[in-house]
Structure 1
Amino acid sequence: MTSVPTPIPSRTQFVLEAIKHRILSGDLRPGQPLVETELAGEFGVSKTPVREALKTLAGTGLVAMSQYKGAAVRTVDAAMAREVYDVRLLLEPEALRRTVHRGAPLDTAREALERADAAEDAAERALANREFHRTLYSACGNPLLGRLLDEVRDQAALVSAVAWAADPSWAREAAEHQEILRLALAGDADGAADALHRHIASFVQRAFPSEGGLK
């Protein structure tokens, strides 16, 4: 019998989303301590929902927890970036190929790009870009494949936030997104998948040039 996940209490969910947004927007920097008492006071809740939110975020790879040092925003380095983006390289282009072969509608992807272009801050633009990529793979017809990619979304976004803070590359990535979508809408599954592969690989190569990027 399949178990049903236990719903997250509303206060915990509120705290979780607030901390996640601050991490992915760069307001909370990698390595920055996440002190339960301070966060509880800031959000007007007890320490319990903060503690549960941090545990959940640790499970998604955004937070690192230590028995002695407590919680902190996960540190991003080239090894972590390669690990996350290697998974994306293996799975995401194939998921897009299947999405195109199925003829799935991509209106949401187009809308996400429009929101990214109109975004007024990095957090809003990052959320729109994440939605663009998710639209490309979520209609692939294999729910497990979609869930596997969902699991690395937050970690990939953390890598992006750090890289963008050091070297904003929105314009180049926006052009790459447009080309990927153009090929997908034209029904060119292999072309769209190849363009997506180049897009993902080149990002880490630009963000961590001294490490050689990804193959």
Structure 2
Amino acid sequence: MYDRVEAPPASRTDFVLESIKEAILNGKLKPGQALVETDLAAALNVSKTPVREALKTLAGSGLVVMSPYKGAAVRTVDAAMANSVYDVRMLMEPEALRRSVLLGASFDDAALALEDVSDLARRSLANRRFHRALYAGCGNPLMIQILDGLRDQAALITVAGWGICPTWDDEAAEHRAILAAAVAGRGDLAFELLRRHIQTFADRVVEELPDGVR
């Protein structure tokens, strides 16, 4: 599941954190799967301490749930979670993109993310980078911070959504249209295309997810 790389002591917790996060976001660690400290430590060739710290951080970002009786597990995506995340994204992300366009921001990183999709297991990570590149130049640090705070949970929902209905090809075409509008300086069009892109995915996924208000 992981490459057994010996991490330098100073960066061991970061190494463990990124390794577990990537395994969750590329679907190797499934929603609801137990995260056993001893197993993770052995797989990553580290002690349990950095694993424990990494799991606490991941719980704070919404990717992991901690239970005093059951321990840690990958968060299970439900409709209530998806609704909450996508409500905020719908309100903020298209506007952040429009502002990025108006400010003349570069979208080179978004273009690079579109190219990095040959590995199926890494598509979620490429999708995550693409969306961040759209709003990163909006000029509002608080808006960026809020959207950054949703990135991990949004990526987890994306992985769940592709498991329900694999629509990557359609979404990739939508990404190209959004990027083309942004690069052309058409902020209002980019706003609308991104809004529609987020709404379409949310509608499809939330309808199929359990345990939430639809």
Q: TM-score under structure 2 normalisation?
A: 0.90
Q: Percent identity?
A: 60
Question: Measured at CA, do residues 200 and 9 of structure 1 come closer, stay the same or move farther in structure 2, by a change above 3 Å?
Answer: farther
The code of the aligned residue for 2:28 comes to D
Greater Cα offset, 96-105 or 35-44: 35-44
Rounded Cα–Cα distance in structure 1 between residues aligned with 2:140 and 2:114: 24
The answer (yes or no) to whether the contact 1:97–1:193 under 8 Å persists in 2 is yes
Secondary structure of the corresponding residue to residue 105 of structure 1: coil
Query: What secondary structure does 2:188 align onto?
Result: helix
Contact 1:54 1:71 in 2 (8 A): yes
Once the two structures are TM-superposed, the CA of residue 210 in structure 1 deviates from its matched residue by 5.1
Could you say which residue in structure 2 is the equivalent of 1:192? 190
5+ residue gaps, structure 2, are: 1-8
Which ranges in structure 1 are unaligned for 5 or more consecutive residues?
Answer: 1-7
- Work out the CA distance in 1 between the residues paired with 2:10 and 2:52: 12
Aligned-partner residue type, residue 199 of structure 1 = H
Equivalences for residues 1-215 of structure 1 within 5 A: 9-116=10-117, 119-122=118-121, 124-209=122-207
SS in 1 for 2:73: strand
Deviation string, structure 1 residues 13-68 (Cα, Å, up to 9, x no partner): 11111111111111111111111111112212111101000000001000001111
| Post-superposition offset of 1:111 | 1.6
Per mean C-alpha deviation after superposition, the further-off stretch among 106-115 and 150-159 is 106-115
Q: TM-score, normalised by structure 1?
A: 0.90
Determine helix, strand or coil for the equivalent of 1:208. Answer: helix
Question: 1:165-202: per-residue Cα shift (whole Å, max 9, x none)?
Answer: 22211111011111111111121111111110110011
State the SS of the aligned residue for 2:139.
Answer: coil
Deviation digits for residues 52-86 of structure 1, max 9, x if unmatched?
00000001000001111111000101111111111
